[in-house]
Amino acid sequence: MAFNLNAFANPKRFMWLSGLLLPWVAGITAICTIAGLYFALFNSPTDYQQGETVRIMYVHVPAATMSIAIYVSMAIASAMGLIWKHPLSDLAAKCMSPIGAVFTLIALFTGSLWGKPMWGTWWVWDARLTSELLLLFLFMGHMALLNAFDDPSRGTKSAGILCIVGVINVPIIKFSVDWWNTLHQPASLMKEGGPSIHPDMLIPLALMWFCFLGYFTLLLFIRMRSEIIASKVRALRLRQVHG
Amino acid sequence: MTEFFDMGGHGLYIWPCYGLTALLLVALLGTSMKSLSKSKKDLSIMEQLTKKEDK
């Protein structure tokens, strides 16, 4: 059976699939959260330079990774919406931006709280920090544009275009630490020569990654299901009004 | 126990990180589930109305 992407386009099939997966996603997320927090707070070493503040990494890094991953998937969804008029992908993009904005806010806030004891400052107009702040504005701009027009489809189209244009910011965030002389440290995982992080710290980091990824999936399913049901209600109301 | 919360004197920076993350994520889950249950309630109301009309 050839994989037909449009098979998932129809909301009924999505409702069935997400209904099936929701308990599993919730379960896995709960397990990763408990295990992740246990390892992060109780069962991982302090850093020889940063001491206990290295524990902020287990929240800061997954949140930052999620903020970029959500933005990229939002851009893909927006492109699918604009090019193939894929109804569910527009809906997915709409549901993703609040979640992405929250993860970006967490990344910025935890980074700032980490920077104060380690760098001696809450904020610096550093390439990495500034481009991540721009990411937050892009998410908020996407949300604002969605509701800026009376006609929802115009909002969806303009928000989609903003999102696609803003994708250029993602490689800038990723490579800012290599291109410019930044206060923010360079990559220690996704780089040549492979990860240079000790397993004792990699385990809590990986668990917290899956915790945030599971949480994002959970939220996305809930929000999309809510939007699909709401649009069904609107349709029933219209039918009732027009008889 | 206090030593644990002190976190080597950096508790002031570490706990707000975990606190705000939990707060934001739980709040987002709460609002999402609230809007889902509202949509479901609206749907059941609308479905009853349309059933009455079809009779």
Contacts of A225 (CB under 8 A, 6+ apart): A15, A18, A19, B36
Per residue in B11-34, pLDDT tens? Answer: 888 999 999 999 999 999 999 999
The three-state secondary structure class of A51 is strand
Which residue in B12, B26, B36, B47 has the most chain A C-beta atoms within 10 A of its own C-beta, making it the best mutation to test that interface?
Answer: B36
Q: Which of A46, A25, A65, A21 is nearest to A214 (CA)?
A: A25
Low-confidence ranges of chain A (pLDDT < 50): 1
Alpha helices in A166-198 (DSSP H): 169-179
Distance CA A117, CA A115 (A): 6
Judging contacts by C-beta atoms under 8 Å, the chain A residues touching residue B10 are 51-53, 117
Cβ neighbours of A215 in B, within 8 Å? 25, 29
Find which of B6, B7, B17 to mutate to test the A interface (most A CBs within 10 Å of its CB): B17
Separation of alpha carbons A128 and A135, rounded Å = 11
Flag whether pLDDT at B1 surpasses 80: no
pTM check: above 0.80: yes
Residue contact B32–A223, C-beta within 8 A: yes
> Dihedral angle at the C-alpha atoms of A16, A17, A19, A25, nearest 10 degrees?
180
| For B13, nearest residue in chain A (alpha carbons) | A113
pLDDT of residue A1: 46
Q: State the Cα–Cα distance between residues A221 and B45, nearest whole angstrom.
A: 23
B3 touches chain A (CB under 8 A): no
Please state the rounded mean pLDDT for residues B32-51. 91
Q: Which residue of B has its CA nearest to A104?
A: B21
Strand partners for A47: A51
pLDDT given at position A83: 93
The single-letter DSSP state of residue A46 is: P
- How far are the Cα atoms of A9, A58, A89, A145, A227 from residue A154, in angstroms, in the given order? 21, 40, 15, 9, 18
Q: Under a CB-based contact definition with an 8 Å cutoff, are residues A159 and A91 in contact?
A: no
CA distance A156 to A89: 11
Q: Predicted confidence band at B55 (pLDDT cuts at 50, 70, 90)?
A: low
Residues of chain B contacting A227 with CB distance shorter than 8 Å:
39
* Distance (Å) from the alpha carbon of B50 to chain A's nearest alpha carbon: 7
Distance of alpha carbon A129 from alpha carbon B29, whole angstroms:
27
CA distance A186 to A190: 10
With a threshold of 0.85, tell me whether the complex ipTM lies above it: yes
Q: Is A241 helix (H, G, I), strand (E, B) or coil?
A: helix
Distance from CA of A202 to the nearest CA of B (A): 18
Token pair 């107009």: residue: A125
Give the minimum alpha-carbon distance from B32 to chain A in angstroms, rounded to a whole number: 6
CA distances from residue A226 to A18, A89, A123, A219 in whole angstroms, order as listed: 12, 15, 38, 11
